[in-house]
Structure 1
Amino acid sequence: MLVAGALAALAFPPVDLFPILIPCLAVLTAAIDAAASWRGAARRGFLFGLGLHTAGLYWLTDAILVRADTFWWLVPLASPGCALILAPIAAAPAALCRLAPAGWRRLLAFAGLWTLFDMGRVFIFSGFPWNPLGTTWELPGRLGDVMIQPAAWIGVDGLTLCTVLLALLPQAGRRGALAALAGLAVWGLAGWGRLALTPLPASRNPTVVLVQGNVPETEKIGGNDNVAIFRRYLALTRSGVARALPGAGDRPVVFVWPESAFPGLLQEDDIARRMIGAAGDGAAAGVIGAMRADTEGRWRNSVMALTGPEGQVADLYDKSHLVPFGEYQPRLLPFHVVPGEGMAAGGGVRTWHLPDVAPVGPLICYEVIFSGQVVDAKDRPDWLVNVTNDAWYGDSAGPRQHLAAVRMRAVEEGLPVARAANTGISAAFDAHGHELARLGWNRQGVLTVALGAPLPETLFGRWGRWIPILLAVAMLLPALGPRVRGIGGRPDVRRL
């Protein structure tokens, strides 16, 4: 089971080997059927989940290696430790699906239960819904654009439900395989149809200048090169804005620095803000990632909007979803891994209304992985900006999987997204999730992109995660409902 789960992780970006799910899930469901009891099925599901998440999250080890002098003992535990927390999410559907009779009904039950429990990952600590199986359709290029369009209706969790179903259907024999092929064809046609029937309207969104300083995390932690880091960002901003202004036309220009890019307390540093304002001369605003201390002395991971030559703080946003073990200390741990007291969480997503700039929703780092939780429903923005620092995770699958989440949020919400990453990958996507431009890993430079317009609010944007929840429950009704043998006959219900 461990090997099957680990191999299934090859379906995630950047490998994108979706067909591997078919044999891997076949091994799991066969083991569930062969188990003597629900406990045995749960153990098999647990092992599958352990392999899946250990392999899928292998890159967490890179973050420990950055501070290996202190946390060397955690190096072999980082990925398996997180996988141990997540593995019960796979054990539960493996056990509960045995309530349904073996065969197609059990397959339906497994798909619905897998989706519901996988959605429950948002409640683990501060939430960790990384790598739902629906992300396996984020293939590079036009094919990926087509296959992720249904997320505008059912979200990435709805795609997870469909993905599991398609992978399981071949187990139902020839008819199941034909049904899988038909479902895949309908999926593709629906995606192609949405692209064809929802053209992007004229845009009043800005031209964004995404600044990628490419500062190694060891330099940021050391703090010995703060002046050089600041000068680097100023120089990149100056050249990027100067290049963007002539072609911007009537669009405003907005420059964006990554998460915690400013090496200090920007809110309290008037001189630094004026220097940033001068470097971005001609831009309508600058979006700067920086730490801050609130009035109670609590540290917050923030992003600030600066306007005018004085670099006035026009608005700020504090990160709401904090990274467990990275930004705050879960109380369940018997040892301390987060420096100091950790950080304080913000009050939730919101929309900025900056002078001469279309309304924008700021997101910090992995907040963008939370499907249905990236937009203020009462004040919908016209675009999203995501600042992040993936330098912790090296040149691994981690930054690529993070970027895939950004692309999926664009489709779900029908909003263009601009993303500035410290060491990469900086990129921009239109409201269809089509990549407009990118600046690759471990490169220093500036990416200038004219953002497209938003689409009308999507079905998923309006109803959110209720849609995949209802779809998953709909799978469970025929799967777990009583089976009637004949008219007036008694229901035949399978037990665990």
Structure 2
Amino acid sequence: MDTPSLQSPLPLKFSQLLFLALAGACLPLSLAPFDWWWTGILVMAALAAGLNRAGPKHSFLLGWSFGSGSFLTGVSWVYIAMHDFGATPAYLALPMTAVFCIFLGLVPALFCYAYSRWVRDGKAGRILGFAAIWVLCEWLRGWLFTGFPWLYLGYGHLHTALAGWSPVVGVYGLSFWVALSGAALAQVIIAPPSAKRPSVVALLGCALLFGQGYLLAQNEWTQATAKEPLRISAVQSNISQEKKWAYTQYWATLELYDQASEKLWADSDLVIWPEAAIPALYHNAQSFFDYIAERAAANNSALITGVPTRFDEKMHNSAMVISGGEGIYHKQRLVPFGEYVPLSSYIQGLLKIFDLPLSSFSRGGSDQAHLSVKGWQLAPSICYEIAYPDLIAQSARDSDVLFTISNDAWFGHSIGPDQHMQMAQMRALENGRELIRVTSTGISAIVDHHGNIRTRVPSFTQTALRGEVYAREGSTPFTRYGSTPIILLCFALILCARIGAKQSPRPS
């Protein structure tokens, strides 16, 4: 009886492309706000089954169909940013969003080609190799062209027993488990009876790891310090994006933050304003910030705000301590099409269709210090940066608490804010640190070191987030080593699978 590795490739059918496009479109259901975590396993099982006997070229097309489907549903909010708030006409924003998502689909396409061409036909390739190469493609997507680390499979397990592994292996490790479970399930279903044993063993191993996650979750990787809790308040201004950058609204915006903060100074150690709270460069609004600093100091309070800055003729998206401490942080990872236009030097003629107010920022350096407030060390990140596991792990070292500000108004009433919040919660869990998240329209929240939301305020309301955060010391394994161990493991597994594939006989 032929084993799967000896079967000849099948011709590609349109129905296969459609099936995997629909399967990919279901991938976001495993993530926030739906949180149907089991969907991720089924989706990966569908992909593994679809690639079972496809040749490398056909696998590329199948992977492209799968990836395009997942991004078209999972990051459709790109259209909102370009059309609703970037003033790009619908007849341009729609195809540009589609092109962006289909371009992102090339990464899963490369995964499927490499899997079929070099990994699949070994004994370990169809399960371990499948999971390993999928994780490497997620990792690749995290830094290629500054990175787009969205829709990682592991986020679906923020609140399952598997989350106990997060402080050890990070979100990539959880993605490995999902892909492994899906590949094993596919082989249980489609492999001939004589070849099912390895996949059954793999499924049992996945179940064992899942249970082990519950035991790991009982471990406290970090410890509370002796510091008194920091009383924080945050202004959620709920200024709509179309008004935020209108010149006629400038003075009304300053008055809003002034009046909202006046109610918070007296009983807050720290008041926080969201990303780019004041729609002007810092030096252009310095007189206002000097006035606000005096109000904060008079009440023995501190203030951190997001504000655009200019240094050495370069504009930055920054977070700055205005009073009660010191420090300024310039955003390192910028949002494609929101804060910079990819390949802009090659498409100068098309840039005039963009009217995004923040589309010309420069990246900050990689060696920036924490923000220091009242003796606390805050590990800062701005908006999109919270999606980068290793960036936050590096920043979390020697910090008391994680701190992120954002302007999620760009997402509108889409699934984007929920996805973004889920990623922030995963960073808190991975690093065993509490996290403060302040946005202009929501979701604004305080997250504990287990990744659970302790306090939040309703989105799309003008309100204030109030609460306390607690400093923690020590490091999780993920904070110390980042994603390096799981990435090295994946490379080793692919090498083993490749060796096995070379030794397997191939069909004539």
TM interval, shorter chain, is 0.7 to 0.9
Aligned to 2:38: 19
Aligned to 2:144: 124
Query: Are the counterparts in 2 of residues 328 and 343 from structure 1 also a CA contact under 8 Å?
Result: yes
Aligned to 2:410: 392
CA distance in 1, matches of 2:123, 2:44: 14
Any idea what the Cα deviations from partners look like across 1:5-54, whole Å, max 9, x if unmatched?
A: 1012211211111222333323322221232x210111101100010111
CA distance in 2, matches of 1:353, 1:63: 30
Aligned to 2:306: 289
Could you tell me which of 9, 19, 22 is aligned with 2:28?
A: 9
Query: Are the counterparts in 2 of residues 259 and 422 from structure 1 also a CA contact under 8 Å?
Result: yes
CA distance in 1, matches of 2:225, 2:263: 28
TM-superposed deviation, 1:203: 5.0
Q: Which amino acid aligns with 1:183?
A: C
CA distance in 2, matches of 1:379, 1:112: 28
Any idea what the Cα deviations from partners look like across 1:194-235, whole Å, max 9, x if unmatched?
A: 334447424525222121111100111222112221221122
CA distance in 2, matches of 1:30, 1:360: 46
Give the match's secondary structure for 1:161.
helix
Any residues of structure 2 matched to 1:297-312 within 5 Å, and which?
Answer: 298-307=314-323
1:346 aligns with 2:364: yes
1:168 aligns with 2:188: no
Range with bigger deviation, 191-200 or 341-350 = 191-200
TM-superposed deviation, 1:266: 2.9
CA distance in 2, matches of 1:9, 1:155: 19
Aligned to 1:152: 167
Aligned to 1:475: 493
Q: Which amino acid aligns with 1:359?
A: Q
Give the match's secondary structure for 1:33.
coil
Could you tell me which of 225, 245, 257 is aligned with 1:221?
A: 245
Query: Are the counterparts in 2 of residues 301 and 318 from structure 1 also a CA contact under 8 Å?
Result: yes
CA distance in 2, matches of 1:424, 1:369: 17
Q: Which amino acid aligns with 1:274?
A: D
Any residues of structure 2 matched to 1:129-144 within 5 Å, and which?
Answer: 129-139=149-159, 144=160
Q: Which amino acid aligns with 2:288?
A: A
Give the match's secondary structure for 1:436.
strand
Aligned to 1:91: 109
CA distance in 2, matches of 1:210, 1:147: 32
CA distance in 1, matches of 2:262, 2:200: 57
Any idea what the Cα deviations from partners look like across 1:353-381, whole Å, max 9, x if unmatched?
A: 53523111211110111111125469632
Aligned to 1:250: none
Give the match's secondary structure for 2:361.
coil
Distance 1:408 1:317, change over 3 A: same
Distance 1:7 1:217, change over 3 A: same
Query: Are the counterparts in 1 of residues 158 and 451 from structure 2 also a CA contact under 8 Å?
Result: no
Query: Are the counterparts in 2 of residues 230 and 263 from structure 1 also a CA contact under 8 Å?
Result: no
Aligned to 2:235: 211
Distance 1:101 1:424, change over 3 A: same
CA distance in 2, matches of 1:470, 1:294: 39
CA distance in 2, matches of 1:177, 1:395: 43
Range with bigger deviation, 423-432 or 283-292 = 283-292
CA distance in 1, matches of 2:43, 2:495: 26
Aligned to 2:379: 361
What is the total number of aligned residue pairs between the two structures? 471
CA distance in 2, matches of 1:259, 1:439: 17
Q: Which amino acid aligns with 1:389?
A: N
Query: Are the counterparts in 2 of residues 150 and 190 from structure 1 also a CA contact under 8 Å?
Result: yes
CA distance in 1, matches of 2:225, 2:495: 45
Any residues of structure 2 matched to 1:242-257 within 5 Å, and which?
Answer: 242=266, 244-245=267-268, 253-257=269-273
Give the match's secondary structure for 2:380.
strand
Report sequence identity in percent. 26
- Gap runs ≥5 in structure 2: 1-19, 189-195
Distance 1:278 1:14, change over 3 A: same
Query: Are the counterparts in 1 of residues 371 and 380 from structure 2 also a CA contact under 8 Å?
Result: no
Range with bigger deviation, 366-375 or 73-82 = 73-82
Query: Are the counterparts in 1 of residues 142 and 149 from structure 2 also a CA contact under 8 Å?
Result: yes
CA distance in 2, matches of 1:201, 1:355: 18
Query: Are the counterparts in 2 of residues 53 and 79 from structure 1 also a CA contact under 8 Å?
Result: no
Query: Are the counterparts in 1 of residues 86 and 356 from structure 2 also a CA contact under 8 Å?
Result: no
CA distance in 2, matches of 1:240, 1:188: 45
TM-superposed deviation, 1:133: 0.8
Distance 1:188 1:14, change over 3 A: farther
- Gap runs ≥5 in structure 1: 246-252, 485-490
Give the match's secondary structure for 2:438.
strand
CA distance in 1, matches of 2:185, 2:411: 37
TM-superposed deviation, 1:395: 1.6
Distance 1:105 1:266, change over 3 A: closer
TM-superposed deviation, 1:483: 6.6
Give the match's secondary structure for 2:471.
coil
Range with bigger deviation, 370-379 or 158-167 = 370-379
Distance 1:412 1:264, change over 3 A: same
Any residues of structure 2 matched to 1:181-192 within 5 Å, and which?
Answer: 183-192=206-215
TM-superposed deviation, 1:260: 0.4
Distance 1:493 1:304, change over 3 A: farther
TM-superposed deviation, 1:4: 1.2
Query: Are the counterparts in 2 of residues 386 and 418 from structure 1 also a CA contact under 8 Å?
Result: yes
Range with bigger deviation, 200-209 or 374-383 = 374-383
Aligned to 2:203: 180
CA distance in 1, matches of 2:45, 2:434: 38
Give the match's secondary structure for 2:110.
helix
Aligned to 2:334: 322
Query: Are the counterparts in 2 of residues 209 and 446 from structure 1 also a CA contact under 8 Å?
Result: yes
Query: Are the counterparts in 2 of residues 427 and 435 from structure 1 also a CA contact under 8 Å?
Result: yes
Query: Are the counterparts in 2 of residues 349 and 373 from structure 1 also a CA contact under 8 Å?
Result: no
Distance 1:76 1:268, change over 3 A: closer
Range with bigger deviation, 175-184 or 78-87 = 175-184
Distance 1:177 1:223, change over 3 A: farther
Query: Are the counterparts in 1 of residues 125 and 501 from structure 2 also a CA contact under 8 Å?
Result: no
1:195 aligns with 2:212: no
Aligned to 2:455: 437
CA distance in 2, matches of 1:456, 1:495: 55
Any idea what the Cα deviations from partners look like across 1:298-317, whole Å, max 9, x if unmatched?
A: 22111110125xxxx83211
Could you tell me which of 57, 64, 76 is aligned with 1:58?
A: 76
Distance 1:77 1:232, change over 3 A: same
Q: Which amino acid aligns with 1:22?
A: I
